[in-house]
Structure formats: structure tokens, C-alpha cells
Amino acid sequence: MEPKNENDDVNLEECLHPEQSIEIVRLASDGAGVGYLNGKAVFVPGMLPGEKGTVRITEEKKSYQRADVAKIINPSPQRQAPPCSVYSSCGGCDLQHINYAYSLEWKRLWVKDALVRIGGIQDVAVEPVIGMDDPWRYRNKAVLHRDQEGRLGYYKEKTKEVIQFDDCLLLSKNINQRIRKLRDILGKDYPGIKTAALRESNRGKGLLLLEGNTKDEVEIESLIRELKEEGTFSPHICSIAIPTNSQDFAGSGPQYLNEHMDDLRFRVSPRAFLQVNSVQTKKIYGIVLDWAGLTGKEEVWDLYCGIGTISLMLAKRAKHVTGIEENPAAVEDAALNVRDNKISNVTLIQGKVEEKVKGLSQIPDLAVTDPPRAGMEPSVIKRILEIKPPKIIYVSCDPATLARDLKILLANDKGTEESYILKKVQPVDMFPWTRHVESIIMMTYSGSKG
């Protein structure tokens, strides 16, 4: 027998990526710890400020590196054990290893950093983030993917690998139960079903939207029958919808939800947008109404109005509201919501905001804008600067695009001292345990009241 070669036990991974000592000094806006090696920033998911440990470099770029944790030597007092069993693989949450109050502090810093670094706004005062008393089971919607093996779950971050779970702690117990039953019903049958979106109203009613390439009417009817016979879905699920060849919906029950806010009722169809956190949504809308300071005499724009939630709330206190929304399904819902709530001072315009806003000539007293994550189109900002509404309230789900837009809106008019002035910045934790943070800002034009 030949003697054992001394290199037989060498770990190739350790040779290629040896462990290096690091100390974390801050959190990046994606939740990764940031330290420095040889003067270059290193992003380390899972490590916290103040922690020392060893890492292995996994990605080398010109100006930064990424690394995986090898060992944490002195855990931060802000660290906690993630309660979710699939936290490390799912990718849906970023911050479950962090104390909740500490995560709110960092979200405020992320908003401030974006406004200063991207927006060029100095000495900006950012209020403490409005968190939740109970930051669990807050989501009213889940979008799940299905693979060839019949697994139903979330995609692992940056992959198409499906991570199946028994209990997502961000979803209500009812939605989790419905997901488990749906997984059992689908099994490996109905292979054309690729995604499932489950929604729940704040009164417990449900909406299930199944999509994929299932066009066989017999198969669709069979699946609907199984779902209806399963007690978990009927009568608690008020509608089951599957797109057909004509893109109409085959299904069971009224194919929409009714969401209630204050004394208003809102219809939500399967493809319309609704905020996923009902508790925090009410707080955000309350702040918008408070900052609007309406007296019943104002003309208001509601840009990216969706199903009309903010439009209708503003309309109760304004003279008139004009809402613009691109999604036809959302505008149809909004029109029905205006009718059903017996509100007569709202005008809805369907189309791209950047196109339709050009046709609005009357100067509004207030412009409210709640764009998607990409922020406002440059032409929308240009039109706002032409019209110069005395007050703007901007609801944003992305600090970076918010800061980009504010940089333009807050720039002084050429040759004058007039400009928009940033009055208030209020972050709200709409998505606990994730990297995301909602922000509400208010601006007034110099010389205008408010």
C-alpha cells in the first residue's frame, strides 16, 4: 500500500478562497454587512455591524467584493435566531437574524443615505420608521411558483429553484393552510399550472388566481371542481380564477375581493394592485390625508392611482380628484369603487401617466404620486415642474428612485430662487424582515402656503 500523500486532505475551496478576518461596520441597503479588506468594501450577507469573524470571498469586482461567512467570533447583541425554518434558503426575507427595533433604525439610515448620496439633499431630517406592534403574519398576498416535480413555493433568491415551505411567518395562518391544501390538490397533476397567487381581504375572504399554460377546458373544470369540494377553499375562498384562451377567467364565485378601509369598500380584481400590508397601508393613507390638509376647495391629482384607494379618500375632503392609472383592470375596479361608494367628484383616466399627464392643464392644489418601484418617468417630473402644484406628496417603495426623482424636483428654477422645498420625510415599515421600506415625503413650492 502506498503512503498517503500529504496533499490528499487539502480542501480545494480553502485553497481557492482562504478565510480572511473582517470587522463589519455597517449594513448595506440589501441587509448585507459591510466591512473592508485591503481598502475595498466587502459585502457579507448574515453579518452585523460590530461583529468580527472570518469570511471567504465569492465574488471579486473592481470596486467591491462579496463574501460568505465562515465564522462569527463575537455575535452582535442585536442578533437573533431566525424563527423561519427556510430563512437561509428562501430569499424572501433579509433581516430575520436582526432584532426588529434595530432593523427599523437601519431602514431609517438607508432612506437618509439615499437622499443624501443620490439626491444630494444635505441636512435632511428623516423621522423614525413607523413599525408594527406585531411584525408577523402581515402579508395579504402570496405569489407562488411550481416546478416540474410539483413543488409549490417561493423562488430562491436570484434563481428559479422553488423553495417549498409549510408555514411562511409573513402570511396569515389561513393563507398558509390554503397553500398546503392547494399543494396537495395539485400534486403532480395539472402540470400546466405554473403560478398561484393567493389573496386575502382584511375580513378574511380569499381570492385564488392560478396561471400557466393550462388551456384544456376539461382539465380546468376538473381542477375548479376539486378546489370547490375542498372545504379549505369553499366558502372561505370567494373566487377561483384561471385565465382561459380568451384571457377571460374560468372559475368559481365573484372573481374579485372586497377590501374595506374606514367607511369605504374597494373592489380588487385578480390583476389589480393592492398593498400587501393592510395595517401599515392604513397608517400611510392616514399620513397622506393629514399632510394634504384639505378643506373641500382643492383640486387634486392622484398619479398612479390603482384601484382608487387614495383617490376616494382624498375625494371625501377635496373639491375634485383626477386619478390616472395605466392598468385597465385597476381602472375598471376604480370606476366601480367610485360608483359603489357614491362618490361624484372623481375623474378617472386610463393610460400611461407620462402620456396622460400632458393633457392636464389645470394647476392642482395638491399632487399625490405613488409610482411603482421604478419611480416616476422623467416626462412626469417635467410636467409637474411646468405646472408647479403648490404641494406634492410622494409615496415611494424605493429610497433610491425616490432620491433620484427628488434631486430633479428640488433643483432651483434657472435664474430664480424659487424651488420645491422638502418639508417632511416619514418612512414606514411596510415589509418587516425584508430590505424594503416605504417612504412618504411632502414638498411645497417656495412662496406657496403649506
Instruction: Choose among 198, 150, 209: nearest CA to 172.
Output: 198
Neighbouring residues of 421: CB distance < 8 A, sequence distance ≥ 6: 410, 443, 444, 445, 446
Using CA atoms, how far apart are residues 202 and 269, in angstroms rounded to an integer? 15
| C-beta of residue 324 within 8 angstroms of C-beta of residue 392 | no
Catalytic residue from among 84, 168, 238, 397: 397
Q: Which three cell numbers stand for residue 264?
A: 369605504
Q: What angle do helix axes 173-186 and 217-229 make, rounded to 10 degrees? A: 130
DSSP labels, 378-403: HHHHHHHHHH--SEEEEEES-HHHHH
Using CA atoms, how far apart are residues 193 and 190, in angstroms rounded to an integer? 6
Using CA atoms, how far apart are residues 305 and 190, in angstroms rounded to an integer? 36
Using CA atoms, how far apart are residues 241 and 250, in angstroms rounded to an integer? 6
397 noted as active-site residue: yes
Instruction: Choose among 241, 178, 234: nearest CA to 211.
Output: 241
Question: Would you name the residues annotated as active-site residues?
Answer: 397
